[in-house]
């Protein structure tokens, strides 16, 4: 039974921040995917296969970009286009055309420009999938249900109004979710991605799709993706990340300087 890796990126660039993937490493990942015969698909497509229950096709991958940084347009898009690849970008709709200084952003996080609506439209017209990532990027389990619903619905509506895409998929800010948040998202979206480390399998849950942060992805990883050893590696990384979040309880949400200097963003 085939599985699908969903690789999560943020920005592409050389800066020494876990938000960034260096262009050369990104390029090498694409080259390895292409050489191995992989094709990119949308998450909506993956959700369709998941619900049909007939398994996934071989050599399928999803590339996802959280937050909609402008380097997705300038650095990622041309490289993907050269291979005939497309990707999914999750937009924080209240901040499109601005930067990532949404409430709760740690002061030490780099200030980065975000895609404008014109750029998001160009990506959509090139076959990219646009997903909703709320309007203001709050940790959803910490806000009330009415606000959760507004964040989901308004971000979807903005994408629909500005680009014509339905924004069927959702990404939880910081990967933070609970049963109540999931239930609200399920009323409005076809599926949602988490920050749980893993591959999407036939047993995957549509509102908890596992992903692999680019921080843990090496260009040559694709050769090992179906192996038991790689699945064990992902389980280990997932456990370690969850343990670290227990230790650094507030680093994700409050902007506390206790956030580790390195490690993946969310
Ligand atoms: Zn985010």
CATH code of residue 131: 3.20.20.370
**Is residue 165 situated within a structural domain?**
yes
Q: Residue 106: pLDDT band by 50, 70, 90 thresholds?
A: confident
Does residue 234 sit within a domain? yes
Compute the distance from residue 89 Cα to the ligand 1 centre, in Å: 11
In angstroms, rounded to a whole number, what is the distance separating the alpha carbons of residues 13 and 23? 6
pTM for the complete prediction? 0.91
Q: Quick one: average pLDDT of 75-96?
A: 98
Residue 233, in any domain of the structure: yes
Instruction: Kindly give the distance from the C-alpha atom of residue 172 to the centroid of ligand 1, in angstroms, as a whole number.
Output: 7
Residue at 1 is within a domain: no
Distance 27 CA to ligand 1 centre (A): 23
> Where residue 1 falls among pLDDT bands split at 50, 70, 90?
confident
Residue whose tokens read 């694409």: 30
Q: Structural domain of residue 181, as residue ranges?
A: 6-247
Element (H, E) at 130: strand 129-132
Q: How many domains does the chain have?
A: 1
What is the per-residue burial (b if ≥16 Cβ within 10 Å, else e) of 74-112? ebbbebbeebebbbbbbbbbebbeeebebebeeeeeeeb
How many angstroms is it from 36 CA to the middle of ligand 1? 30
Q: Which tens digits make up the pLDDT trace of 153-210?
A: 999 999 999 999 999 999 999 999 999 999 999 999 999 999 899 999 999 999 999 9
Backbone angles phi, psi at 206, to 5 degrees: -60, -25
CA of 1 to the centre of ligand 1 (A): 31
Asked whether residue 157 is domain-assigned, the answer is yes
Between the CA of 90 and the centroid of ligand 1 the distance, in Å, is 8
Beta bridge partners of 65: 9, 89
Q: Is residue 160 part of a domain?
A: yes
Please report how the helices 179-188 and 145-163 are oriented relative to each other, as an axis angle in degrees rounded to 10. Answer: 30
**Tokens of residue 41, six digits:** 């698909």
Has residue 151 been placed in a domain? Answer: yes
């Amino acid at each position: 039974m085939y599985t699908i890796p969903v690789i999560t990126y943020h920005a592409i660039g050389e800066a020494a921040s876990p938000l960034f993937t260096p262009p050369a490493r990104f390029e090498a990942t694409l080259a390895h995917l292409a050489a191995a015969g992989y094709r990119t698909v949308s998450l909506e497509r993956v959700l369709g296969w998941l619900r049909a229950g007939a398994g996934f096709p071989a050599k399928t991958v999803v590339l996802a970009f959280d937050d909609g940084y402008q380097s997705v347009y300038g650095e990622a898009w041309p490289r993907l286009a050269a291979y005939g690849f497309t990707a999914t970008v999750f937009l924080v709709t209240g901040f499109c055309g601005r930067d990532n200084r949404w409430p709760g952003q740690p002061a030490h996080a780099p200030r980065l420009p975000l895609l404008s609506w014109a750029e998001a439209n160009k990506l959509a017209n090139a076959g990219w999938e646009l997903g909703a990532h709320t309007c203001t990027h709050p940790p959803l389990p910490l806000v009330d249900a009415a606000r959760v619903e507004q964040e989901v619905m308004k971000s979807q509506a903005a994408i629909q109004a500005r680009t014509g895409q339905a924004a069927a998929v959702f990404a939880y800010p910081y990967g933070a979710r609970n049963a109540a948040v999931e239930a609200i998202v399920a009323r409005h979206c076809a599926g949602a991605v988490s920050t749980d480390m893993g591959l999407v399998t036939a047993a995957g849950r549509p509102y908890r799709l596992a992903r692999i942060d680019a921080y843990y992805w090496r260009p040559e990883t694709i050769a090992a993706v179906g192996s038991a050893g790689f699945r064990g590696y992902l389980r280990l990384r997932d456990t370690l990340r969850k343990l670290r979040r227990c230790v650094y309880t507030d680093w994700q949400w409050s902007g506390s300087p206790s956030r580790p200097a390195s490690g993946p963003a969310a």
